[in-house]
Structure 1
Amino acid sequence: MHKKLSHGIRQYLWIALLAAPFLLQGCSNSLVPGSSDTTSQSDVSIEQANALLSKGKKREAAQTYYAAASRYPSPQRERVILQAAEIAASIGDAKLTNSYLAKVPASALDGENRGRLAYVKALLALQQNNPALALRTLPTNLDKLSPALREKVKHVRKRAQAMAGGSTQNVQQALVPTSVNRVAALLPQSGSLGSVSQEIYRGIATARNNLASNASVQIYDVNAGGAVAQYQRAVADGADMIVGPLDKESLAQLLAQPRMLTTPILSLNYLTNSLNVPGALYQFGLLPEDEARQVAEFATARGQRTAIVMAPASSWGERVANAFRSAYQAKGGQVVNIQQYPDSPSNAYMQNVQTALAATQGRASMVFLAASPSQARLMRPLLAAQAPSTPVYATSHIFSGRLDPGKDSDLDGIIYTEIPWVIEALQAGSLNNSAFPRMYALGMDAFLIAKNLPSIASNPNAQVNGKTGTIRLARNREVQRKLLMATFINGVPQPLGQ
């Protein structure tokens, strides 16, 4: 059976490689998302899927690949599911693509399949006219990919770069409230995001008390009936502005019915791969890509123009590494090595550091470290021991938000992006009073933006000093933030230069 799979995959790769320019250039974004797979799993095969694909029946081929995947063990199963997802992405069917990707557990992804997953997501973004997202999503290290996948990645990158130079998203005319006196917060009150949402709402309430005690804020539980029903209820109750939802699934439910959106929404997450951005939508969140780009700009301004990038082998790691690399190169910098390290803390970290430094032969003037607190606490001492004079930069993700000098002394000297609220709370001695200080700050700024949206939206140069950073509204109505630069001294974050 495995021989049959291998033969089938090779046959498809040959067909796909020949057909790639046509698949990527001739797809329509107007196709209606496909229905769920109804093919019996017991009577399908890779060969049947190949035959359907060769006849141009791409949706049927995708469904057949997916149905056939159950016949194989992991990781071959995930490889075939990714094949189905790739074909669905090539026809711009986001619903079908994402339904397949949801069946691919991260734990089952080896290097090749992880690269293919990133490629499929980038292909879908490209088909939905979002070249910037495609470029951010593509895998960064092509050396570990098969020749066929490497060529596909290069093809998508070339096309995305061409599109990025000459087109923008279709952004509809902005819907701006005349005044904001009644704010509705669409947040889950239970489940995995329940405690996070409580902290966000606490921040909203604090800002409301400090900034506009005459304004009202009412919470609507998106877990009770769904985001659409709660949005409609909030509008019926007279809300001037909707804050939320927090999760992408709820946001996608609202965007699926753009004509219903008659009251402006300040989402607390981003769905930047939407082809048509409704005029009611303003997007706000704590994007790690924003921080990576700021680090790139800060480092190049200091004259540090050759970088090593160290990032975990995960989708988050690839996103952050891609954002840094793009911004760094745009400012004249050169990434001389990208080193992926295991997502789980590992004894291999020492080898990863040595490999990265050896590959650059002393040419790197800085290291950009994408890492969690536990990863950074292990990586930073290794970098300090191997290259003590090379500065290390990171994003706020290296700090847990809880003061712990004993553990965080290993982070001393790292220069990183941090939100103003964390520094303020540290200096006031109140940081540990909040379970999720950055989410609390997000809530405060969400109310600040919502209340002042009439003036912010009317002035393209407006900037607001918020708790998550200096805030401005981009032309596509995405909220962009500029954070503080901080460092660790004796295991405690401090503003850089103070």
Structure 2
Amino acid sequence: MKQSLRGLLAAALMALLVAGCAMQPPNVVDRVSGEDAGQLLSQAEQQAPEQAAKTRLEAASILAGQGERDKAFETADAIDESLLSEGDRVRWALLFSELARALDDPRAVLRATQVLNDELPMQANQQETLEERQRWAREALDQQGMANVALPELEGQEIRRIVVALPESGPLSSVANTIATAMRNHHDTKGDNTELSFLDASRYSLDELYQQAQQMNAQLMIGPLDKDQVTQLEQRDSVPLPTLALNYGSGDHNQAQRLFQYGLSAEDEARQAARRAWQDGHRQMSMMVPDNGWGRRVGEAFWNEWKSQGGEITNAVRYNPESSVSTAVQSALNVSGERARLGNIDALFLLALPEYARQVPPTMDYYYAPDLPIYATSHLHEGRLQTRLDQDLNDVMFMDIPWQIPDAAVGGEEALPFSASYRSLRDESDASMFRLMAMGVDAYELAIRFSNLAELEGLSGSTGTLSLRSDGRIYRELPWAKFQNGAPAPILIPNLDNSGE
């Protein structure tokens, strides 16, 4: 009996010890192993890529625990994290971001925290840690000031020679042609002395484009348009000529000096929608985005911005654009017994094209949610007056470029930025391409201001109010409108959506 009691006590003691260890998990870089990190790295050289990545992660963790911070960082930096399992990717992100922050490397922290965009399973405290490190990295980069975007070679000069590098063939040729047409038209309307020359970007590599532009004695280049090419450029330390790319790279930050990026970013619109909904007093949102790559990117942008403000996402629905709208609305609004349950839903964020978007408000009405505020991006607005079709969008709030909603944006066409070009291009362009026309106009206006970058701050453009960030990316702030009687109408004051109008 005594022996049995002793066994029970020993088992209980062991359980307490195990529980105590479980309640106090070690810090990522405090984990120390008896294994030799050098031996693990040697083994990794002989292993298949997936196993080698895992082995290198173990080696980096050991080095960090032994205080070999620089070697640990170098080892973790060399890991292709895409080869790791989901759990190991989270481990890698926590380790690498901690090392990078200790070494004051915000760009490496941003690389590590990109796992936040991939919806990996992780504990709440792990997500909070990565989000905090991501905020630190962004603030650290912003505090570095505007040194990386300075263009001393153009200061005090007039911009007279611009080369535009856009593809004349391939999948982007139609978009490129629309932008180029708008640039030429706006250039001619202004009647200034700037020389615009065009290169077919589909015929040359990036380096060849720069060589051609330099041979033409260009002061700067507009382009490329292709996202992959912009991503390649932003990973360089610098580019040969001051460059205004017409897209955004896929990295979290642009590190290349002399490279500026501008485009019609749906992700920016989603972040602006999150800020507007928060400003209007909402704290619990549901969201509906299409179940495709575009929807995932834009949805993640809204999600991250909303969460960073302290908001809660009640339901996040990825819908099939070809399927019933009713199914998606039921999931978004907690429909039970033919009635929406809105106790923990203040508003809805909607990313949709016009045909799908027009079905959402009537479906919400059917489920007894007619007054739930809807915040949407510009993509539900076709850009032409069609009051009969758009009656179903009444009370939906959305943002768009000033050229698409002149009355709501500035009080009428005559007050629009670059109104002469607006009138000329409006009469000869298809409504679906008009945003690209406006983008071409703003690209030209941005480029001719490269000799005085201060002029880019708060520039009133045809695509919104433009601002230059410290990494060379140009962001747009768009005006808001609300559908009334099937037409866009101004939202004149904050919280108008709650005013009972």
Residue 218 of structure 2 is matched in structure 1 by 239
Identity %: 27
In the other structure, the counterpart of 1:337 is 314
Q: Secondary structure in 2 aligned to 1:213?
A: coil
RMSD: 4.3
Q: 1:301: Cα distance to partner?
A: 2.4
Cα distance in 2 for residues equivalent to 1:257 and 1:356: 42
1:480 aligns with 2:475: yes
- Tell whether 2:450 aligns with 1:471: no
Q: CA deviation at 1:187?
A: 0.5
Distance 1:291 1:119 in 2: 29
Counterpart among 345, 353, 372 of residue 372 in structure 1: 353
**Where does residue 436 of structure 2 map in the other structure?**
439
Whether the 8 Å CA contact 1:402–1:432 is kept in 2: the answer is: no
C-alpha contact 2:349 2:375 (8 A) present in aligned 1: yes
Within the candidate set 378, 385, 388, 2:370 is matched to: 388
- Following TM superposition, by how much is the alpha carbon of 1:200 offset from its aligned partner in structure 2, in angstroms? 0.5
2:228 is paired with a residue whose SS is helix
Indicate whether 1:150 and 2:132 are aligned.
no
**1:316-345: CA deviations, max 9, x gaps?**
32332333234334445x224132232332
Cα deviation per residue 1:295-329 (whole Å; 9 max; x = unaligned)? 22222322233322222233332332333234334
Q: Amino acid of the residue matched to residue 174 of structure 1?
A: A
Q: Is the contact between residue 288 and residue 349 of structure 2 (CA under 8 Å) also seen in structure 1?
A: yes
Whether the 8 Å contact between 2:274 and 2:305 is mirrored in structure 1 is yes
Is the 1:130–1:275 contact (alpha carbons within 8 Å) kept by the matching residues of 2? Answer: no
The answer to whether the 8 A contact 1:311-1:317 is kept is yes
In 2, distance between residues paired with 1:153 and 1:258?
36
1:214 corresponds to 2:193: yes
Per-residue CA deviation, residues 363-398 of structure 1 (Å, 9 max, x unaligned), is 322111122223312323222332101111101112
Equivalent residue of 1:207, what SS?
helix
Aligned-pair CA distance for 1:194: 0.5
Deviation at 1:275, TM superposition (A): 6.4
The 8 Å contact of residues 134 and 160 in structure 1, kept in 2 or not, is answered as no
Aligned-residue offset at 1:352: 2.7
Q: Deviations over 1:247-301 (max 9, x none)?
A: 1222244446545x23210111112527661221111111112212222222232
2:141 equivalent among 159, 168, 173: 168
Residue 358 of structure 1 deviates from its aligned partner by 2.2
What SS does the aligned partner of 2:203 have? coil
Distance in 1, matches of 2:114 and 2:161, equals 37
Q: Quote the offset at 1:129 in angstroms.
A: 2.6
Gapped regions of structure 2 (runs ≥ 5): 1-24, 30-46, 59-74, 101-105, 336-340, 414-422, 494-501
How far does residue 201 in structure 1 lie from its aligned partner after superposition?
0.8
Partner of 1:411: 393
Correspondence for 2:244 among 266, 284, 288: 266
| Offset from partner CA, 1:101-144 (integer Å, 9 cap, x none) | xxxxxxxxxxxx9x99x999x99x9799366687677358x6xx
Of 277, 300, 303, 2:255 maps to 277
CA distance in 2, matches of 1:54, 1:133: 18
Question: What is the correspondence of 1:38-49 to structure 2 with a 5 Å cutoff?
Answer: none
Secondary structure, counterpart of 1:138 in structure 2: helix
Residue type of the alignment partner of 1:362: G
2:32 matched residue in structure 1: none
1:309 has 2:290 as partner: no
User: 3-state DSSP class of the match of 1:285?
Assistant: coil
Aligned residue pair count: 404
Counterpart of 1:452 in structure 2 is 449
Q: Which residue pairs with 2:56 in the alignment?
A: 56
- CA distance in structure 2 between the partners assigned to 1:93 and 1:205 by the alignment: 47
Q: CA deviation at 1:164?
A: 2.4
Flag the 1:358–1:402 CA change in 2: closer, same or farther, 3 A: same
Partner of 1:400: 382
Distance between the aligned counterparts of 1:340 and 1:350, measured in 2? 12
What do the CA deviations read for 1:437-488 (whole angstroms, capped 9, x no partner)?
1111111000001111222x2468x321100001111222211111110223
> Which residue of 168, 187, 199 corresponds with 1:189?
168
Q: Is the 8 A contact 1:270 1:283 kept in 2?
A: yes
5+ residue gaps, structure 1, are 1-17, 23-46, 59-88, 101-112, 143-148
**Whole-angstrom distance in 2 between the partners of 1:50 and 1:228:** 34
| Amino acid paired to 2:403 | W
Q: CA deviation at 1:212?
A: 5.1
Aligned to 2:179: 200
1:357 deviation in Å?
1.9
Cα distance in 2, alignment partners of residues 315 and 119 from structure 1: 22
Note if contact 1:137-1:322 (Cα within 8 Å) is conserved in structure 2.
Answer: no
Q: 1:362 aligns with which of 322, 325, 343?
A: 343
Deviation of the 1:229 alpha carbon: 0.8
Check conservation: 1:137, 1:318, Cα contact below 8 A: no
Q: 1:206 to 1:164 in 2, by over 3 A?
A: same
- Counterpart in 2 of 1:7? none
> 1:337 aligns to what SS in structure 2?
strand
Q: Is the 8 A contact 1:187 1:221 kept in 2?
A: yes
Q: Which amino acid aligns with 2:314?
A: N
| Kept in 2: contact 1:434–1:440 (CA 8 A) | no
Conservation of the 8 A alpha-carbon contact between 1:296 and 1:328:
yes
Cα distance in 2, alignment partners of residues 161 and 376 from structure 1: 35
1:137 and 1:53 map into 2 onto residues whose CA distance is 16
SS at match of 1:223: helix
AA partner of residue 304 (structure 1):
H
CA contact (8 A) 2:236 2:255 kept: no
Contact 1:180 1:451 in 2 (8 A): yes
- Other-structure match for 2:420: none
- CA spacing shift, 1:50–1:451, aligned 2, 3 Å: closer
Decide which of 273, 296, 301 is 1:323's aligned counterpart: 301
Q: State the Cα distance separating 1:223 from its structure 2 match.
A: 0.5
- CA 1:192/1:408 → structure 2, altered by over 3 Å: closer, same or farther? farther
| Residues 245 and 267, structure 1, Cα contact 8 Å, conserved in 2 | yes
